[in-house]
Amino acid sequence: MSAEKFIKNKTVLITLISACLIVIISLGIRQTFGMFYFDFSVDLDITLSQFGFAIGLQMFLWGAFAPWFGVITDKYGGHIAVFIGFIFYLLGILMLVSEYNTGLYFVTGIGVLIGVALGGTAISIPVSVVAKHFPQSNRTAAIGIVTAAGSFGYFVSPVFTRYSLVEYGWESTLLIFAAFILIGLILAFYLTTPKDVVGGIVDDDQTAIEALKEAFKSKSYNYLTLGFFVCGWHIALVATHIPVYINDRGLPEWCTVTILSMIGLFNIVGTLTSGYLAQKFSKKLILSSIYLARGLVIAIFIFLPSSPIVAIFFGVAFGFLWLSTVPPTMGLVGFIFGTKYIGLLYGIVFLSHQVGSFLGAYLGGVFHDLYGSYDYAWYISIALSIFAGLIHLPIIEKQVERLQTI
């Protein structure tokens, strides 16, 4: 981290805190949906394939709407994007507890409405707003802080959700989530987008269309986009299907809560570490190492004999690698292309992430329904880890010519 003052003023501090709380609420709720499956299966007659499709659709729409919320952020401010997102989130939760919550209505609530909501409230928008407040020297560290906050949401939400499901039932638990979303609506207005980009060179004449054309002409941007697809596959497969996988392997139910909580806890360490290292070392090499390490961790998890110790190891190790891809990925986008359209450009990269998420969530359920296990899903995950580890190596960590000549 640079020796210069990290927090420049009160506005930056409030924005950073607000962004952290927003992602805690948004990602914390999102992380627990897999824990509702058994209740949805019994009370709403939802099959695993249907659930996987709904969550996959949620992931896809999360990514599909992230660029549009990015445009809103870049033009009107992140507070507007987040507020709109939380409105959709609230509608989705309320639909799940209404009488219209089966079949297509179920998919609409948890898949469509919450999917759109996440495009405006989850990582990409709060992080892009925070990134605009910090110079290049401190940007990845600030991104790491916000991402780590989301990890804290991952840590506490499974524990709370498990307790609430047992004590109050799934409907009351979702209503509690709705109350947190109302808090998110208030927090949105404390997320201030700076009028002028901090610490960077800005081409004020460049349009959003020109920024997109410039990005897609860059092989480095395309490699980064392809790599983030793999991140999405991994995260959605684990977050959606780990409860059923643990049950299939005959492990106690507490292992599910422990894995999800350990992912959240150690992701805090992982994201802060990657944010720090990305300021000191090659971002592409950090990303390559993370993806290869994921493949190794998955292989250990599925090939070693099942036990609580192995499950806890997986939660700790995969948690460290969970969102540690975000700081160096967004850091590369901001460094190569500048931060004027970082909301839009990162939104496109994130769309690829969510396409991977859709396939990970949906195909995981399909494989299980067809073959009675997740073996093929895990094998694909390991192969994708190797692919992502290699695809980042040709990335050129250099600013585009436009920024070099201004």
Mean pLDDT calculated for residue range 377-400: 93
**Taking 60 as the threshold, does the pLDDT of residue 4 lie above it?**
no
Quick: pLDDT tens for 305-342: 999 999 999 999 999 998 899 889 988 888 888 877 77
- E strands, 210-317, where? none
> For residue 336, what is the enclosing H or E element?
helix 326-337
Between residues 144 and 390, the one the model is more confident about: 390
* CATH architecture of the domain with residue range 10-405: Up-down Bundle (1.20)
The per-residue pLDDT for 109 is: 94
- What number is the average pLDDT over the span 35-46? 89
**In the predicted structure, residue 199 carries a pLDDT above the cut 60:** no
Q: Lowest mean pLDDT: which of 13-22, 36-45, 397-406?
A: 397-406
Q: Judge whether residue 382 has pLDDT over 80.
A: yes
Contacts for 386 with CB less than 8 Å, ≥ 6 apart: 292, 295
> For residues 38 and 41, what is the distance between their CA atoms, to the nearest angstrom?
5
pLDDT in tens, 137-170: 777 778 878 888 887 887 888 889 989 999 999 9
Distance CA 249, CA 306 (A): 7
What are the domain boundaries of the chain?
Answer: 10-405
How many DSSP H helices and E strands does the chain contain?
18, 0
pLDDT at 2 (0 to 100): 47
- pLDDT of 81 above 60: yes
pLDDT tens digits along 103-117:
889 999 999 999 999
Look at the block and give the residue holding tokens 């809103």: 72
The span from the CA of 139 to the CA of 184, in Å, is 24
pTM (predicted TM-score):
0.77
Query: Can you give the pLDDT at residue 403?
Result: 66
